[in-house]
Structure 1
Amino acid sequence: MRKTTNLPISPARSTARGKRRTAATAGAAVAAAALLATAVTTGQAGAATTSTTTTTSDAKALGLGAKEKLVVKDVVRDADGTVHTRYDRTYDGLPVLGGDLIVHKSASGTVKGVTKAVKATLAVPSTTAKVTPATAERAAVKRAQADDSRRAAADGAPRKVIWAATSKPVLAYETVVGGVQKDGTPNQLHVITDANTGAKLYEYQGIKTGSGDSQYSGKVDLGTTKEGSGYTLTDADRGGHRTTDLKGAESGEGAAFTDDDDTWGSGAPDDPQTAAVDAHYGAALTWDYYKNVHGRDGIAGDGKGAYSRVHFGHDYVNAFWDDSCFCMTYGDGQGDKAPLTSIDVAAHEMTHGVTSATANLQYSGESGGLNEATSDIFAAAVEFNAKNDSDPGDYLVGEKIDINGDGTPLRYMDKPSKDGASADNWSDSVGDLDVHYSSGVANHFFYLLSEGSGAKEVGGVQYDSPTADGSKVEGIGRDKAEKIWFKALTTYFTSTTDYHAAREATLKAASDLYGADSAEYKGVDSAWAGVNVKP
């Protein structure tokens, strides 16, 4: 029984659809005398700091036009001193959507290469629009209404942008339409409209639909803070991450949970604290995983916590990440008896935040499938890393929350098509699928890379993973597969990366980590071939 239409952890019919786009990767060395000297304050591999410095020197050094500027978004330093600086771009003062790029520099400052979202020269005839903002706004609102959104209205005036995610840059408007999607999820439909013709160029959904007694994980330790005569669910050891109670509301930050004796929940869903225990615990596990395994200090890499809101609405069978509040939100499920707060759901939602802060994969088409798969991949990784006896690690997604009503999980990483809709392998039409279905290609790749093909048992769960061409794939181990995917996400993926570009990015990541002649590199190549992603 499928109740949701925009759930990031379950199959759905999304409003955002897109054709396959080729994310171009430029790896040639760039001869540049001086690029921005960005301070990186951590020595841990994979850790990151960010800056909002805008610079023209980098743009000139990279051969960009005089009207272009680069804004530092994220910086990652490898163990060998290599620095990967991710930039957003502006043109004549306008944001460039799809114009992001990454500069890779050696420890000595030599530019080793540049990864670009698009190769196209960034130029438009004029930044004066022929279509009025009001016209673009009306068209965007009508688009949301056509998807049965309720109370659809623009969240502010359309902003003028350069749309560069396709081969030809276009002057455009970006309109964000709010309201409520038909399943009760808040709406953040981004509609890109040609500012000269009024034609819709693209659209995507901004809402990415993922000691106490918990419902799913048993008795767990929690990070809390003494306030007044009691305690709150505020985790000072993890950037001040907090968990709040919406009490059935569908907006706002929610009220603080308080407890006099610092013993939370009962394990039963009718205790309001129980869902909070699961959500708070899952957030802590996710924070610890990224920090201890990948050296990333918090979701945005800045040491600051996000926050979790539980008890959203009533009978709301969904969970979602929202960049605008930098928060996770959880419904209580059918009959308000099955909160969507299991470990893998919490990790899935927080990982949307990591993706947003790094590659910012567009939430439509193949890049959207990679976005969803990234959340599934690290949800599994966090679950395995947690070593919780009540919810042991597996390659199943959402197996605890029983959204289907028959005890089956939402998704299967060893053979995604077992859910009835997800793609096992790549085809030239996979980008037309909803992102929760197209994610199957990357989920299958990750399983093959970790465990290999064929029948086997992992942690007491039986799997049987096929390959597209019948070939045998030998796994390299989950720990190495996680590191390769994280490396690719944070240093080589861009906003428009598709499956073929993801193959190249993960091969580069494997080469960086283990060498171009390594078994790990060959394993990546073999696993991609196993899902029909080939050169």
Structure 2
Amino acid sequence: MKKVIAAAGGTLLATGLCVAVPSPGTAATNPTSDPAAVAKDYIQENPGRVRAGTDDAFTATRTATSPDGSSHVRFSRTYKGLPVVGGDFVVHLSTAEKVTGTSVAQAEKIAVSTAPKVTKGVAQQKALGASKAASPDAAASRLVVDARSGTPALAYRTVVTGVQADGQTPSRRIVLTDASSGSVRSSEETILTPIKVGTVSGAASPASASPTATATGTGRGIFIGTVPLSTSTGSSGYSLVDAVRGNGRTCDLKNRTSGTCTTFTDADNAWGNGSYTDRASAAVDAHYGASTTFDYFKNVQGRNGIFGNGTGVPSRVHYGNSYINAFWDGAQMTYGDGSGNRAPLVAIDVAGHEMTHGVTENTAGLGYSGDAGGLNEATSDIFGTMVEFYANSSADTPDFLIGEKIDINGDGTPLRYMDDPSKDGASYRCWSSAVPGSDPHYSSGVGNHLFFLLANGSGQTTYGNSPTCNGSTVTGIGRDKAAKIWFNALDHYMTSTETYAKARLDTVQAATDLYGASSAEVAAVKATWSAVNVS
């Protein structure tokens, strides 16, 4: 029986999949200078390492390289031609192109019938009923295999669009319905916000100025103060289009939730007056936030933009009416103007948080439920904080608080505290069996606490007083090393079904790659995970 493994440039035919499994360090046959080709050879010879059967097929989706030159090749999976949710995995190779291990999302080998017992129409109705945001005419379903946990099962994947409970946040919910029983297996929102929807009371258009050259303007934002802005020139003057960073642009939705988003233009390249009354002021914060996030990931973490391909993203400001949130929708950033349209949510850590969702989506692809959802949100808080430190603005002094400038609570308190996440009254600072079933905005507290301790240590520090869950004392290694370890774990080892326990293993491995197995950094990672009850 022949087995097809898809590749970017064609297919490989493999026979005899039932073979002995050598040790993870065994070199693949026919070594080449292409890590993806080596990884494909390895999995066709060692299907058990990725929990594969003869009906599985794989596509290499991305290859990342560690600072030491080792490679990490990500794969997606199909089963009898059906997409496998939770079927992703990573093959790790040394600098000598020997396979050193794998990271696999799914728990068990797939062996399911592909004949559904319920109809697509029934699945769509179940999916619509699972979301209060549903638009009945917006559902589309297809058969998939759900292999995220336990025994894999045939399911319908239905995309349900509409509006979330606050009446303004768009919704794009992915609902998996069991194809045998018709029961809803999961329902996950993919429009991601920094604030849980309900806890507080259109695509961007091309630039109208047809930019022809780069320029440097000056902006005065609401939160960031006076900053330089990368703009473009054209026949109509200047526009907020950042040609230096992949043509990321900032546009005005004019307090609508749909329709044309008009790119900001200006005659003298001086933008905003620092007050919400000048619509360009919020645009300054958003534009600068996008460029700073781009620069942080490129210059510090070696990632070329949100998508890794050098393209910028649109930033849409003045969304909705008194809309108290912001969101990432998979392609662009959107910011509301806050209560009374007088408090735009354009602070730099909010910008960094939301655009990091894009980085996560295009690296590990973390889910948005269970531990994976908490890790997804924690990753955005971690790098939103690191972007704030990278900007190092005297107008928004860097800290380990999330959303402290936007004053959502009306009393000067932040959205979340990384030193002790429980101070917000809802977030978890220690892992327990309750964490996976919680909203990701609150289960993220475990990851946030871990990061704070790893960066700064326990007890009283410059940025807060951080307790440990096991009564231990831990010493920080600095935020830059902590962020480097987290990013490398995200980029190279984490998968869509990541748990906190797996994140411990993956960050230890990332620290080992960066600093060595016997390093103080590896010891610190282990001790800090124990300090938040993850073993």
Q: What TM-score does the superposition give when structure 1 sets the normalisation length?
A: 0.88
Q: Give the partner amino acid of 1:491.
A: H
Residue pairs, 1:281-320, within 5 angstroms: 281-320=288-327
Q: Does 1:511 align with 2:512?
A: yes
Is contact 1:164-1:170 (8 Å) kept? yes
Is contact 1:32-1:61 (8 Å) kept? no
Which residue number in structure 1 is paired with residue 521 of structure 2?
A: 520
Pick from 274, 280, 285 the counterpart of residue 281 of structure 2: 274
Q: Does 1:169 align with 2:152?
A: yes
Pick from 49, 52, 55 the counterpart of residue 67 of structure 1: 55
Which residue number in structure 2 is paired with residue 265 of structure 1?
A: 272
Residue pairs, 1:173-252, within 5 angstroms: 173-183=156-166, 184-210=168-194, 211-252=218-259
Q: Give the partner amino acid of 2:118.
A: V
**Mean Cα displacement is larger for which, 170-179 or 64-73?**
64-73
| Cα shift at 1:129 | 1.3
Flag structure 2 segments of 5+ consecutive residues without an equivalent.
1-20, 195-217
Which residue number in structure 1 is paired with residue 75 of structure 2?
A: 87
Is contact 1:67-1:92 (8 Å) kept? yes
Pick from 115, 118, 132 the counterpart of residue 128 of structure 1: 115
| Cα shift at 1:252 | 4.2
Deviations along 1:485-526, one digit per CA (max 9) or x if unpaired, are 001001111001111001111111111111111110111011
Cα distance in 1 for partners of 2:466, 2:281 equals 36
1:511 and 1:165, CA in 2 relative to 1: closer, same or farther beyond 3 A?
same
1:171 and 1:521, CA in 2 relative to 1: closer, same or farther beyond 3 A?
same
| Cα shift at 1:36 | 9.6
**Mean Cα displacement is larger for which, 31-40 or 333-342?**
31-40
Which residue number in structure 2 is paired with residue 375 of structure 1?
A: 380
Cα distance in 1 for partners of 2:479, 2:312 equals 27
Is contact 1:507-1:525 (8 Å) kept? yes
Residue pairs, 1:6-17, within 5 angstroms: none
Is contact 1:74-1:357 (8 Å) kept? no
| Cα shift at 1:81 | 1.7
Flag structure 1 segments of 5+ consecutive residues without an equivalent.
1-25, 41-50
Cα distance in 1 for partners of 2:493, 2:22 equals 10
Cα distance in 1 for partners of 2:314, 2:102 equals 35
Point out the structure with max Rg over C-alpha: 2
Cα distance in 1 for partners of 2:356, 2:103 equals 22
Q: What TM-score does the superposition give when structure 2 sets the normalisation length?
A: 0.88
Q: Give the partner amino acid of 1:498.
A: T
Deviations along 1:182-225, one digit per CA (max 9) or x if unpaired, are 11210111110011111111111111115111000101111111
Is contact 1:141-1:153 (8 Å) kept? yes
Deviations along 1:279-329, one digit per CA (max 9) or x if unpaired, are 010011100000110111011111111111111110100111111xx1111
Is contact 2:28-2:99 (8 Å) kept? no
Cα distance in 2 for partners of 1:28, 1:403 equals 53
Which residue number in structure 2 is paired with residue 138 of structure 1?
A: 125
Which residue number in structure 2 is paired with residue 44 of structure 1?
A: none
| Cα shift at 1:74 | 2.3
Cα distance in 2 for partners of 1:180, 1:294 equals 35
Greater relative CO, 1 or 2 (CA 8 Å, sep 6+): 1
Pick from 442, 446, 451 the counterpart of residue 456 of structure 2: 451
| Cα shift at 1:31 | 4.4
Cα distance in 2 for partners of 1:28, 1:271 equals 64
Cα distance in 2 for partners of 1:313, 1:61 equals 54
Q: Give the partner amino acid of 1:144.
A: S
Cα distance in 2 for partners of 1:415, 1:380 equals 15
Which residue number in structure 2 is paired with residue 435 of structure 1?
A: 440
Which residue number in structure 2 is paired with residue 473 of structure 1?
A: 474
Q: Give the partner amino acid of 1:136.
A: A
1:154 and 1:500, CA in 2 relative to 1: closer, same or farther beyond 3 A?
farther
Is contact 1:56-1:69 (8 Å) kept? no
Cα distance in 2 for partners of 1:356, 1:152 equals 25
| Cα shift at 1:56 | 7.0
Which residue number in structure 2 is paired with residue 499 of structure 1?
A: 500
Cα distance in 1 for partners of 2:505, 2:268 equals 53
Using the aligned pairs only, state the percent identity: 51
Question: Which secondary structure state, in structure 1, belongs to the residue aligned with residue 482 of structure 2?
Answer: helix
1:250 and 1:37, CA in 2 relative to 1: closer, same or farther beyond 3 A?
farther
Q: Give the partner amino acid of 2:386.
A: A
Which residue number in structure 1 is paired with residue 8 of structure 2?
A: none
1:57 and 1:513, CA in 2 relative to 1: closer, same or farther beyond 3 A?
closer
Q: Does 1:107 align with 2:89?
A: no
Deviations along 1:54-110, one digit per CA (max 9) or x if unpaired, are x97565234133322222222211222211011111112111110110000112221
Which residue number in structure 2 is paired with residue 155 of structure 1?
A: 138
| Cα shift at 1:30 | 6.2
1:117 and 1:188, CA in 2 relative to 1: closer, same or farther beyond 3 A?
same
| Cα shift at 1:123 | 2.3
1:517 and 1:253, CA in 2 relative to 1: closer, same or farther beyond 3 A?
farther
